């Protein structure tokens, strides 16, 4: 999607379509990420809490991500502020090209 959809300081939830080749067939599946901009560039967080996978939301008043399931709080940079999550929010690689943001495939080990 267009990078200008992310304005101001608050992260924005954006939808995307994941395309995967399966033989000759292209399989498309919907997804979403929370996108924000840091000093070093764009950041896209997986929209599921790293505790047990609940969808979390951004609270523009508190300036934190809040998970409703077990009360986790994440900072804007994805780090755990409080609650049970064992690790920060998962980040996807992002690139910006011609004014559009792309979520890149992750390298697998
Ligand atoms: Fe988010 Fe448990 S799933 S705090």
pLDDT, tens only, 48-106: 999 999 999 999 999 999 999 999 999 999 999 999 999 999 999 999 999 999 998 87
| Sign of the dihedral defined by the CA atoms of residues 83, 51, 10, 45, in that order | positive
64 alpha carbon – ligand 1 mean position (Å): 14
Phi, psi values for residue 3, rounded to 5°: -70, -20
Closest CA to 37 of 57, 67, 69, 10: 10
Nearest residue by C-alpha to atom 4 in ligand 1: 70
Provide the whole-model pTM. Answer: 0.90
Virtual torsion, Cα 68, 72, 73, 75, nearest 10 deg: -120
CA of 104 from ligand 1 middle (Å) equals: 26
Q: How confident is the model at residue 14 (pLDDT cuts 50, 70, 90)?
A: very high
- For atom 3 of ligand 1, the residue with the nearest CA is 52
What tokens were used for 68? 């409703």
Please check whether residue 81 is in contact with residue 74, taking contact to mean a CB–CB distance below 8 angstroms: yes
């Amino acid at each position: 999607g267009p990078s200008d959809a992310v304005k101001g300081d608050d992260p924005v939830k954006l939808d995307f379509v994941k395309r995967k080749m399966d033989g000759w067939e292209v399989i498309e599946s919907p997804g979403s990420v929370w996108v924000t901009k840091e000093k070093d560039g764009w950041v896209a967080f997986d929209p599921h809490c790293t505790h047990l996978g609940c969808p979390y939301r951004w609270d523009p008043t508190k300036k934190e991500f809040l998970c409703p399931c077990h009360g986790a709080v994440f900072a804007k940079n994805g780090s755990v502020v409080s609650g049970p999550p064992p690790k920060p929010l998962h980040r996807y690689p992002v690139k910006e090209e011609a004014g559009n943001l792309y979520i890149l495939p992750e390298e697998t080990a």
